[in-house]
């Protein structure tokens, strides 16, 4: 839109304003202007439009003589008196809306809209958004406090929408916000942004954060998407699709989506038709729409690139890293992707990561509901179900607020809740955003929670167990552990982490570490893929119709079962690799036993029943065997995608339960055939040292592998001849046995003799501090631990190393 002429006193086009004009047009409009001026030349599409300035708002208030009446209504307002608070808010809004716009302001708005019609056609559809500011508080943020109106398509509708935006300065939530922040009510003004609508009603829209919204991890772009206009995603009324892109490898040229989660996308907001008084309406999505992602990978990557450019620009302007909260929309007519809003993210990015705080659930009751976890905290209280604004008064401080979904009007009460549970919504919905800001746990998208959680029942809401949030019956015991990491030294012995759950990867990366010593494929296969790999390749061999149908449901939307397996596995491993990038992440190829493979969906036709699966058809023996080689090919394809397509070359691979050197050679040859050649593209391949022959023949194994990771669980089993699955002889299973320790010592010495890396990833050093001490004394290169034992074991290692005269490698949180 061309710049306004000098005759316009109260309006500015977006290309006339920038980030320094917050006092004039509010943060939202100033940001739009900044993007139009600075980022459009870089290829970021931003719809044009204009802003009614704060000066125009003040001319309206003063011209209509509203200030004395507003001051009277605001005098002594108390949000603790809910009835009076609501009455005054309603009177304030009615007073503002009833007043006429000044003739000159109305004329300017109408003329500016006419110019938009000249550019885009008659009855151009626009979005009308509030953008608050303050006379002497230009840095204040009023995000989410005021109203927006969509699909406005005439000058008359626009003038009415502007007045409604002006009146929204006095919504209950906005008044409450100003009281909490200590802002004088009438020093705040309202600018109004008028922006050409993007026809997302015919396509999709959503929100982008340039960091992970749960952990604060900075190296990803997190994008949500749903069909239709974006208000459903912003307000959390639906469960959107989610996508992650890893910024460092993306900027290095690897154009690949790191991870995606398909949401239900229950509704889509579209333009209302006919003579409806509503400009927009919600309609159900079809089963076919819900079953597929609403964006292609190329579109996700285009949006990620725009988000990275926006973050880079705003960080440069601010002089500090500035994670961003961005709204986007796809035009269903042109197919083009637009950025419709951008603002600095001001909650998650402010968290301190030099203090490591963990919530630990020590007991669990029966599970009442499950959904998506927001935050990593735990809260407990009485269930209070709220189905309408009128019922908010029933919520007492410390209650667990349970609702279908929440809206900004609920915020005064949400601030007093111990936790929040909603039937609907994704991790960027209103309830999630408020919960993060307040530092309380929330479980969103917990379908049916308002029906399953009994009113008044005491429950525990846990978001400390991964991506899934759980509501337990009763008050469960939990603890909060806190540690200042700024002075934690880095020991000479590398301290790594055992991790199998990708959902915990970003959060766990803040634990001081030297990378991941063991990433297990088994967790990803059993939890995310769920089906036996051969069942995905050969579903015709499955006789059980119900199982076949379930597999068809899992793979719906994928070209084949193979594509489903490769994508899911690579995304799980890639998430762990990205979380710890560029530190090494050692990924162990699958090590299910036959009984565990049989328990996977569709596994029975492909697995025999073995009398002792612990020493049966497992590990390396499977990889080149006709009974499983096709499954191993899928694993290799997934790992190749992680390293080649995603660019995560910090991922090393490891072969488990390799009985003989010749067996190792066969596996390496097969991996090379599948595009994973040792030494090519920096690929290192380790072997588990968990069979006595690995130790006895360590010189020969060193010729074909790059390193050894001692599996203390199996090594103990085979040195002592104790089946660790047998309860009858469990009393004789002890990793501290002198024979086991001597075997470990020989392994470490053998690896050092051959110039190979030695590490341990078994459970022993996590369970027994004396074993960690023993490993340090014999000079092991790395010790990999469960996340909860990293900090205390690191302290113990540092203390021991000082007695041995070893110098720490440095200090600092995260290492």
Helix (H) or strand (E) holding 479: strand 478-484
- Residue 672: how many CA atoms within 13 Å on its side-chain side? 11
Say which residues have a Cβ less than 8 Å from residue 638's Cβ, sequence separation at least 6: 565, 566, 567, 569, 570, 573
Among candidates 366, 359, 369, which has minimal Cα distance to 400?
369
Mode of pairing for the β-strands spanning 458-462 and 378-386 = antiparallel
Residues 740-746: contacts with CB within 8 Å, 24+ apart? 740/712, 740/715, 740/716, 741/771, 741/774, 743/692, 743/695, 743/715, 743/719, 744/710, 744/712, 744/715, 744/774, 744/775, 744/778, 745/778, 746/695, 746/698
Q: Alpha carbon of 547 to those of 527, 535, 541, 603: distances in Å?
A: 16, 10, 11, 10
Which of 197, 63, 179 is closest to 126 using CA atoms?
197
The residues, any chain, with a CB within 8 Å of residue 809's CB and separated by 6 or more, are: 489, 490, 491, 492
Strands 458-462 and 468-473: antiparallel
Could you give the angle at the alpha carbon of 54 between the alpha carbons of 50 and 59, nearest 5°? 110
Per the rule left: phi > 0, alpha: psi between -120 and 50, beta: everything else, 140 is: beta
For the chain, the C-alpha Rg in angstroms (whole number) is: 30
Catalytic residue among 294, 636, 658, 761: 761
Contact between 238 and 263 (Cβ < 8 Å) = yes
**Would you call 78 exposed, middle or buried from its count of C-beta atoms within 10 A (0-12, 13-18, 19+)?**
exposed
Whole-angstrom Cα distance, residue 622 to residue 628? Answer: 6
Task: Give 289: exposed, middle or buried? Use CB within 10 Å, 0-12, 13-18, 19+.
Answer: middle
- Of 413, 28, 407, give the one whose Cα is nearest residue 234: 407
- Which residues does residue 378 pair with via DSSP β-bridges, in sequence order? 462
Smallest Cα–Cα separation from 616: which of 727, 749, 723, 692? 723
Active-site annotation holds for 430: yes
What does each C-alpha distance from 700 to 676, 677, 682, 744 come to in angstroms? Answer: 21, 19, 22, 17
> ω into residue 586 within 30 of 0, thus cis?
no
195: nearest Cα among 47, 339, 354: 47
Sheet strands (E) in 524-644: 585-588
- Per DSSP (E only), the strands in 628-781 are 651-655, 685-689, 707-710, 757-760
Exposed (0-12), middle (13-18) or buried (19+): which is 546, by Cβ within 10 Å?
A: exposed
- Give the separation between CA 504 and CA 78, rounded to whole angstroms: 43
Sequence-separated (6 or more) residues with CB below 8 Å from residue 726: none
- Beta bridge pairs of residue 758: 708
Contact (Cβ atoms closer than 8 angstroms) between residue 326 and residue 207: yes
* CA–CA dist 281, 532 (Å, integer): 43
261, β-bridge pairs: 242
Q: Is 761 a residue of the active site? A: yes
Residue 559 C-alpha from the chain's centroid? 26
DSSP 61-75: HHHTT-HHHHHHHHT
User: From the candidates 430, 494, 532, 757, which is the catalytic residue?
Assistant: 430
| Of 441, 470, 473, 469, the residue nearest 454 (C-alpha) | 473
Q: Which residues are catalytic?
A: 430, 761
């Amino acid at each position: 839109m061309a710049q306004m002429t000098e005759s316009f006193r109260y309006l500015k086009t977006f290309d006339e304003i920038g980030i320094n004009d917050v006092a004039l047009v509010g943060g939202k409009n100033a940001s739009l202007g900044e993007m139009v001026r600075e980022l459009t030349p870089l290829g970021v599409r931003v719809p044009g439009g204009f802003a009614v300035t704060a000066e125009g708002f003040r001319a309206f208030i003063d011209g209509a003589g509203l200030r004395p009446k507003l001051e009277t209504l605001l005098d002594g307002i108390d949000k603790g008196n809910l009835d009076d608070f609501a009455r005054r808010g309603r009177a304030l809004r009615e007073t503002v809306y009833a007043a006429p716009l000044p003739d000159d302001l109305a004329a300017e708005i109408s003329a500016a809209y006419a110019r938009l019609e000249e550019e885009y056609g008659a009855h151009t559809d626009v979005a009308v958004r509030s953008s608050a500011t303050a006379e002497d508080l230009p840095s204040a943020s009023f995000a989410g406090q005021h109203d927006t109106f969509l699909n406005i398509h005439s000058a008359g509708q626009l003038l009415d929408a502007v007045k409604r935006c002006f009146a929204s300065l006095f919504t209950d939530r906005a008044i409450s916000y100003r009281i909490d922040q200590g802002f004088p009510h009438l020093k705040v003004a309202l600018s109004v942004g008028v922006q050409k609508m993007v026809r997302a009603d015919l396509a999709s829209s959503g929100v982008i954060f340039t960091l992970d919204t749960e952990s604060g991890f900075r190296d990803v772009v997190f994008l949500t998407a749903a069909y239709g206009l974006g208000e459903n995603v912003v307000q959390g009324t639906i469960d959107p699709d989610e996508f992650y892109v890893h910024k460092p490898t993306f900027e290095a040229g690897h154009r690949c989506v790191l991870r995606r989660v398909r949401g239900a996308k229950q509704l889509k907001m579209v333009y209302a038709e006919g003579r409806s008084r509503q400009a927009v309406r919600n309609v159900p999505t079809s089963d076919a729409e819900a079953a597929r992602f609403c964006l292609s990978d190329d579109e996700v990557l285009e949006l990620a690139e725009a988000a990275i450019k926006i973050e880079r620009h705003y960080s440069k302007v601010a002089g500090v890293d500035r994670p961003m909260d961005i709204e986007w929309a796809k035009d269903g007519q042109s197919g083009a992707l637009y950025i419709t809003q951008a603002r600095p993210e001001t909650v998650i990015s402010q968290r301190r990561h030099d203090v490591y705080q963990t919530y630990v659930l020590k007991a669990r009751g029966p599970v009442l509901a499950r959904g998506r976890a927001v935050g990593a905290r735990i809260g407990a209280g009485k269930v209070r179900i709220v189905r309408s604004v009128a019922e908010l008064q029933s919520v007492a401080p410390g209650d667990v607020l349970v609702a279908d979904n929440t809206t900004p009007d609920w915020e005064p009460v949400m601030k007093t809740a111990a936790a929040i549970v909603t039937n609907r919504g994704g991790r960027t919905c209103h309830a999630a955003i408020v919960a993060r800001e307040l530092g309380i746990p929330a479980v969103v998208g917990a379908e049916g929670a308002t029906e399953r959680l009994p009113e008044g029942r005491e429950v525990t809401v846990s978001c400390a167990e991964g991506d899934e949030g759980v509501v337990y019956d009763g008050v469960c015991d939990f603890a909060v552990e806190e540690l200042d990491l700024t002075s934690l030294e880095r020991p000479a012995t590398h301290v790594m982490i055992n991790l199998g759950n990708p959902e915990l990867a970003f959060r766990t990366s803040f634990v001081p570490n030297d990378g991941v010593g063991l990433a297990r494929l088994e967790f990803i296969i059993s939890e995310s893929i769920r089906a036996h790999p051969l069942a995905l390749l050969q579903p015709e061999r499955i006789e059980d119709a119900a199982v076949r149908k379930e597999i068809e449901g899992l793979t719906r939307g994928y070209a084949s079962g193979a594509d489903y397996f490769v994508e899911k596995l690579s995304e799980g491993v890639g998430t762990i690799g990205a979380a710890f990038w560029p530190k090494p992440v050692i990924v162990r190829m699958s090590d299910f036993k036959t009984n565990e493979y049989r328990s996977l969906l569709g596994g029975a036709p492909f697995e025999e029943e073995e009398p002792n699966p612990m020493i049966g058809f497992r590990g390396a023996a499977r990889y080149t065997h006709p009974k499983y080689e096709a499954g191993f090919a899928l694993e290799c394809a997934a790992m190749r995608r992680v390293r080649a397509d995603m660019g995560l070359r910090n991922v090393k691979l490891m072969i488990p339960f390799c009985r003989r050197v010749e067996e190792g050679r066969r596996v390496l040859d097969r991996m090379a055939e599948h595009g994973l050649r040792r030494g090519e593209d920096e690929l290192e391949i380790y072997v588990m040292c968990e069979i006595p022959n690995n130790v006895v023949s360590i010189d020969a194994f060193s010729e074909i592998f790059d390193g050894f990771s001692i599996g203390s669980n199996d090594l103990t089993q085979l040195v002592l001849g104790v089946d660790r699955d047998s309860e009858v002889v469990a009393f004789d299973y002890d990793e501290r046995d002198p024979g086991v320790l001597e075997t470990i010592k020989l392994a470490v010495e053998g690896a050092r003799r051959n110039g190979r890396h030695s590490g341990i990833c078994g459970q022993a050093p996590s369970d027994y501090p004396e074993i960690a001490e023993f490993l340090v004394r014999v000079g092991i290169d790395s010790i990999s631990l469960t996340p909860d034992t990293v900090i205390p074991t690191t302290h113990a290692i540092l203390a021991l190393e000082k007695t041995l005269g070893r110098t720490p490698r440095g200090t600092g949180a995260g290492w």
